[in-house]
Structure 1
Amino acid sequence: MSFPKPAKPGIYLTLCLTLLFISVVFTPLSVHNWQRFVLIFIAAVSLFLTIACHLKRPEPGLFNTRTRLAFGLVFGFGLLSVINAGKPQWALIELAVLLACCCVVCGIAGQRTANAKSDRLLIAFVVALCCVKTLQFAAGATAAFVGGVDVLDMTLLFEGFSNLRSYGQFQTFTLPLLALPLLYPQVKKSAKAWVFVLLACWWMIAISGGTRGTWMALAAAAVVMLFGGQFGRRWAGWQLTAAASGFALFWLLFSVLPAWLDIKIINSVGDRLTTTLSARDILWQQAWEMIKARPWLGYGPMGFADIPNPIAAHPHQAILQWASEWGVPSALLVCGLAAKGLYSTFTFIRAKAGSDEPVDVLRIGLFASLVAALAQSMVDGIIVMPYSQLWLCLIVGWLIAIHPQREPQTASSPTATWAWLATALCAVLFLGYVVVRDVPHLEENEQQYMHDFGGHFQPRFWLQGVIAAKPQ
């Protein structure tokens, strides 16, 4: 896998970040299906840049030979699983999504490698995006309190996603990065004070949303970062302080103030919180039965969505999902690659524990964001939702770009490189065909699903993600 160098610094990354911004700020566009379009479009742009720059001048690969081999094995197992799947076309779509995500990772990594100043762009983007979303939340709450309503539905304050849990996933990625300006020595104290206020408000919104997976994910990241040296502990300290401040804000705004104004709060976090698994145990049991029935190649990518259940089209657990759909050997390979990357990054963070260089501080935030996302993927659909997939690609690609190479990276053979580029091109073109094929009929298919199955939509590739046939 080669990486591109930009003709004009920052244009590609600016485009990606702009689309990430639009996809959650403007309500008509902030839905699951639109976010799927954005993922495919960014993958297409990434691949175009990669091919164009490779034609101009081949570059060393992003990964060493062992990692390339592991990726090749995952792809090979994926192809075999597609052939073995009950719905091969949908399985091929899921495999194409994986390749599209690889294109985005390579594009992000290549562009950041060629333009180190992009780090400032990333931090500024996260601060601006969280600020706008906080203002949206505050505007809704203010309108309710000032407008004299008798009842305030908390779910109406969360704009930008088809599902409230997806909002929590978005905050899982951004909370670790939003704390970074508090760690930079170069940032003025007045600016840090404003950033802390924003971080506390962002925590208040995370608490209001009631996504337990987000709370658990940030707690897991904080525990890991306690062992990440001086700046890792400072990052964890700021998160804990901001979380406590956010809880105080939540209590004042949605407990004390409504009682004073005689406003009834419905669908508050207290009403939605439970100590149960929220039916995840049923999903996990289904995935486990699928693993036992077909351990080697699974039921095929997206195969879980081909077995109807009243809860979800994916098991809300990344390892069980991969093992049940792609097979146990593929799941072990993916877990091994993830563990290798995490260990290598954490080892370097420990080695640079006392460094206040901007890139070393940024690495802490990116690593914490990735750890939090992987922790939440154990109880949620981080690897399924298109917007979360984009953030995962962004974090992984940026981490790859700033990770020091401990061994010289040699370019893969021209045949292997062009084989990868041709495969990725086929995947992106196929996804484009799927969009053209399905978009005119999305509403019709959603109505048909409601008629055949009833109940709520279960997102997977599309917002209505169940691919099973009508029950007889």
Structure 2
Amino acid sequence: MRAERHGALRAGVVAVVVLLPFGDVAVPGLGMRLIHVAMLVPATLALHLVIVRGARIPTSVVLVGCGLGLVSGIVSGADGVDPSRSVPLVVGSVIATCYALAVVLSRPGAELGVLDLLVLVGGATAASALVSVGRLQAAEAGNVVNGRLTGPFSQPNELGIFCAALLPVALACIVTSSSRRRAALLSVAAASLAVACVLSMSRGAWIGALASFACLAVCEPALRRALLAIGLGAAATCGAALVAPAGVPVLGVVGARIRTLGDPTQNQYDDRPLVWSEAWRQAAEHPWLGVGPGGFRSAATESTSAVAAQPPEHPHNLLLTVLADRGVVGAALGMVIVAGCVLAVRRHVLAPEPGDPAARSVRIRSIAVIAGLAAVAVHGGFDMPLRNPIVSGLVWTLLGLAAVAETVPLARYAAEHHATTNRRKWVPVTC
């Protein structure tokens, strides 16, 4: 009976992963996006297991931070400037938090298959976006690029961070793949993710991807050879882009885009400095609980706001969005999640080198999950794409897997894997 319950949870999580590319589709009559409806199924099953069946919730700092963050969101929304805008976001947070719990409860070792599927689905999403690629044209010295790749997302930065978050996971899955055929398939998906990330022309996603690879290099020696090759290739590409004339297709545009990093204030069309100032103003006026989830736009319409004429939905910065929406309390609880991710990495880094190949695979993949979340956090310094349903579904899946990495003993991972591979020989693909 217990295996059946876990099987239902696994099926629900797999369904969410498969439906990620279509997550932004509206579901008629429900007023919700498809990804939230899909997440609702395993979320409900998880609550049933905990409340009715008495399943034990693993002791996880990541889950504690998510749960307390949900409570702070409810309180901030009830006390905010526009509760009607807060309600949909709070409902989405309830579903997402319970879905992360479902990922944790699904079963030890489940992420060995889920991560492969996640990379393949992500690669297919990137490939579908590449089909619609057009001619890229740089303007305003590279500060503006026309024809940026978007795919199923509402704007290019969302595609960029989706790909950047999956790139370290893809590398880990390739290196630890159980067969060369699977590794080849995962490599094709990783290539699609890398090209789509570049063509999104999202500087924040580029920097986030580099930060995630740096995290992998520091924490996992087994990946350093592969990361060195990737780093040399990236450095050579950047060097060629920087010396290429602006008229050279793709490469010239990439070079112009890279050069803008030296002085981001040159973009006369970038209103983010004003938006950031408005976020600080709202945080100063509502320091503890903020203006409520989604309340930034309503609060920005006040006469004292510098962006009152055209208020944006959010401050285009992850930390400032949390500060404005949920105040210092919400930001502090967000740091709890970060602390949980750090503890998860520390746990695997400081553990004795596992002799079992399956346990080594779990170690590499667990660190890669945290590296993917690091890419999201770094990108959050440049934009706030987490309200896109597809990106949100990916991030909450990674958060659930981060909680798994934080809590489940490596020996149980290995045992679970051996039990589900029908005694096939484990042959990891070397770097």
Task: Quote the residue 2:282 is aligned against.
Answer: 290
Task: Quote the residue 1:15 is aligned against.
Answer: 15
Distance 1:84 1:293 in 2: 13
Task: Quote the residue 1:41 is aligned against.
Answer: 37
Q: Note if 1:81 corresponds to 2:73.
A: no
Task: Quote the residue 2:396 is aligned against.
Answer: 393
SS at match of 2:218: coil
- In the TM superposition, residue 244 of structure 1 has moved relative to its aligned partner by 5.1
- In the TM superposition, residue 313 of structure 1 has moved relative to its aligned partner by 1.2
Q: Percent same amino acid among aligned pairs?
A: 17
- In the TM superposition, residue 371 of structure 1 has moved relative to its aligned partner by 1.0
Distance 1:9 1:118, change over 3 A: farther
Which residue, 190, 197, 204 being the options, matches 1:213? Answer: 204
5 Å-filtered alignment, 1:140-159, equals 140=132, 155=147, 158-159=150-151
5 Å-filtered alignment, 1:116-155, equals 116-131=109-124, 133-134=126-127, 137=130, 139-140=131-132, 155=147
- In the TM superposition, residue 181 of structure 1 has moved relative to its aligned partner by 3.5
Q: Note if 1:178 corresponds to 2:166.
A: no
- In the TM superposition, residue 270 of structure 1 has moved relative to its aligned partner by 5.4
- In the TM superposition, residue 211 of structure 1 has moved relative to its aligned partner by 0.2
Two-structure CA RMSD over aligned residues (Å): 4.0
Q: Is the 8 A contact 2:21 2:121 kept in 1?
A: no
Aligned pair count reads 378
Distance 2:406 2:63 in 1: 17
Structure 1 gap ranges (5+): 145-152, 407-472
- In the TM superposition, residue 182 of structure 1 has moved relative to its aligned partner by 3.6
Amino acid at match of 1:126: V
Write out per-residue CA displacement over residues 222-276 of structure 1, whole angstroms, 9 at most, x where no aligned residue: 233332141253463354255357769999xx989x97xxxx8899545666342
Distance 1:296 1:175, change over 3 A: same
5 Å-filtered alignment, 1:292-307, equals 292-306=284-298, 307=300
Q: Is the 8 A contact 2:168 2:371 kept in 1?
A: yes
Distance 1:265 1:140 in 2: 15
Distance 1:186 1:386, change over 3 A: closer
Amino acid at match of 2:345: F
Task: Quote the residue 2:341 is aligned against.
Answer: 342
Amino acid at match of 2:54: P
Task: Quote the residue 1:106 is aligned against.
Answer: 101
Amino acid at match of 1:53: L
Task: Quote the residue 2:417 is aligned against.
Answer: none
Task: Quote the residue 2:323 is aligned against.
Answer: 323
Distance 2:42 2:58 in 1: 15
Distance 1:359 1:35, change over 3 A: farther
Distance 1:216 1:132, change over 3 A: closer
Distance 1:121 1:281, change over 3 A: same
Q: Is the 8 A contact 1:363 1:399 kept in 2?
A: yes
Amino acid at match of 1:96: V
Amino acid at match of 2:371: A
Bigger shift: 225-234 or 70-79?
Answer: 70-79
- In the TM superposition, residue 327 of structure 1 has moved relative to its aligned partner by 1.4
Which residue, 132, 147, 157 being the options, matches 1:165? Answer: 157
TM-score by length of 2: 0.74
Task: Quote the residue 2:140 is aligned against.
Answer: none
- In the TM superposition, residue 35 of structure 1 has moved relative to its aligned partner by 11
Bigger shift: 363-372 or 239-248?
Answer: 239-248
Amino acid at match of 2:405: I
Task: Quote the residue 1:423 is aligned against.
Answer: none
SS at match of 2:396: helix
- In the TM superposition, residue 121 of structure 1 has moved relative to its aligned partner by 3.9
Distance 1:80 1:227, change over 3 A: same
Q: Is the 8 A contact 1:30 1:160 kept in 2?
A: no
Task: Quote the residue 2:414 is aligned against.
Answer: none
Amino acid at match of 1:377: G
Q: Note if 1:381 corresponds to 2:384.
A: yes
Write out per-residue CA displacement over residues 56-97 of structure 1, whole angstroms, 9 at most, x where no aligned residue: 621111336x87776665455434422332212222332222
Distance 1:103 1:185, change over 3 A: closer
Q: Is the 8 A contact 1:220 1:375 kept in 2?
A: yes
- In the TM superposition, residue 42 of structure 1 has moved relative to its aligned partner by 2.4
Q: Is the 8 A contact 1:181 1:187 kept in 2?
A: no
Distance 1:158 1:72 in 2: 32
SS at match of 2:76: helix
SS at match of 1:227: helix
